[in-house]
Amino acid sequence: MKDKATVTIRDVAQHAGVSTATVSRVLSNSGPVSAEVRERVEHTIRALGYRPNRMARSFRAQRSKFIGLIISDVENPFYTSLVRAVEDVAYAHDYSLLLCNSDEDLEKERTYIQFMADERVAGVIGSPASEQETSFAALFDAGIPVVSVDRRSALTPVDTVLLDNVAAARDLTRHLIHHGHRRIGAILPNLSITSGRERLAGFLQAMEEAGLAPDPALIHEGKGIEAFGAHAARALLHLPERPTAIFTGNNLITLGALKAIQECGLRIPDDVAVAGHDEMPWMSLLAPGITVAAQPIHEMGRTAMRMLLARINGDSQPMCEVKLAPRLIIRNSVASPTPI
């Protein structure tokens, strides 16, 4: 396999009878070029089918036109939507996306962060695997701006875009309590990440304001994946005195919990009520539909990318944290508990 043509700026310069500097000036519209020469150069560019080598440009500038996106898993629909939103804004500004799945693995994440630094990317958007342990220092040292999405990062000061998790969890829990639930099971993602910690806080806050003492046996915390959601839900449902409602801390946990409830042959909302985080396209298909706190994921992604662009373009405002409001979607997965 050989490059057929690979026409460089030098070829253009020679054919047009000018210097490479002039061609460069025409290309980037920088510096003065006479109309006549400009036209001649442009004509040659077209004639030769010249296209600037982006690698060479990045190398020369010592900064590439890539945005690194480090998330836990593209297959999680939440992150999928985030990726899409980031991508739309990025491409509109001539940046492209370098995608990495950290799988919530600190080691893998560390590798990818270092990788982004080695690639001299223009900026990084990341959803840290751990609030306390993830470090963006390698990027910081290389002068590469970072925006943290969905989760905070405590070690390095970076711009952050979050959902108002406390409010979302509080509202969801209030909704359950309002329907008369007292024994509410909660299944949460890791408390070492922002969303886990804050959603627990919101849950507890709602319980407290209702004068309810949370039962530690009803609170499960673990890896925010479907298997954990199913596992924890099964545990809750097999309790001698099982909760009348289950509060789920993210979309995959909800999915797992729903499957467990189905397996146990229990009906929603009569046998057990369910309320969770994140809207999914299929949720309205279920009968009954599931009540959730929807996150403005696309807006989160767009906002993060816009903040990053501002930093890339030299904005030196103090670090800021944006918090987006959730939207409660009330369906029919919550009814009043049947008296025991």
Partner DNA sequence: GTGAAAGCGCTAACAG
Partner DNA sequence: CTGTTAGCGCTTTCAC
Binding site for a copy of itself (CB under 8 A): 1-6, 51-56, 58-59, 62, 64, 66, 73-75, 77, 80-81, 83-84, 87-88, 91, 96-101, 114-115, 117-120, 141-143, 145, 226, 255, 258-259, 262, 280-282, 284-287, 316
Which residue do the tokens 């979050």 mark?
A: 162
Binding at 28: pick from a copy of itself, DNA, none (beta carbon under 5-8 Å per type): DNA
Binding at 8: pick from a copy of itself, DNA, none (beta carbon under 5-8 Å per type): DNA
- C-alpha 286/C-alpha 277 separation (Å) is 16
- Closer residue to a copy of itself (CB): 19 or 284: 284
Residue 36: CB minimum distance to DNA, A: 6
- C-alpha 134/C-alpha 72 separation (Å) is 13
Binding at 33: pick from a copy of itself, DNA, none (beta carbon under 5-8 Å per type): DNA
- Closer residue to DNA (CB): 20 or 156: 20
**Tokens (6 digits) for 82:** 């985030």
Residue 14: CB minimum distance to DNA, A: 10
Q: For the chain, how long is the longest CA-to-CA vector?
A: 92
Helices (H), the chain: 9-16, 20-28, 35-48, 54-61, 77-92, 106-118, 137-141, 165-178, 194-209, 226-237, 251-263, 297-312
* Omega before 189 within 30 of 0, i.e. cis: no
Residue 75: CB minimum distance to a copy of itself, A: 5
- Closer residue to a copy of itself (CB): 26 or 268: 268
Residue 111: CB minimum distance to a copy of itself, A: 9
Pairing relation of β-strands 245-248 and 184-189?
parallel
Binding at 119: pick from a copy of itself, DNA, none (beta carbon under 5-8 Å per type): a copy of itself
- Closer residue to DNA (CB): 54 or 267: 54
Residue 19: CB minimum distance to DNA, A: 3
Distances (CA, A) of 167 to 107, 200, 246, 283: 32, 11, 18, 21
Among the listed residues 204, 78, 94, 216, the one whose alpha carbon sits nearest the alpha carbon of residue 150: 78
Binding at 18: pick from a copy of itself, DNA, none (beta carbon under 5-8 Å per type): DNA
Pairing relation of β-strands 245-248 and 273-277?
parallel
Residue 58: CB minimum distance to DNA, A: 9
Task: List residues near DNA by CB under 7 A.
Answer: 6, 8-10, 17-25, 27-28, 30-34, 36-38, 52-53, 56-57, 59-62
Residue 112: CB minimum distance to DNA, A: 19
- Closer residue to DNA (CB): 9 or 169: 9
- What's the order of all strands across the beta sheet hosting 245-248? 219-222, 184-189, 245-248, 273-277, 291-294, 327-329
- C-alpha 145/C-alpha 314 separation (Å) is 10
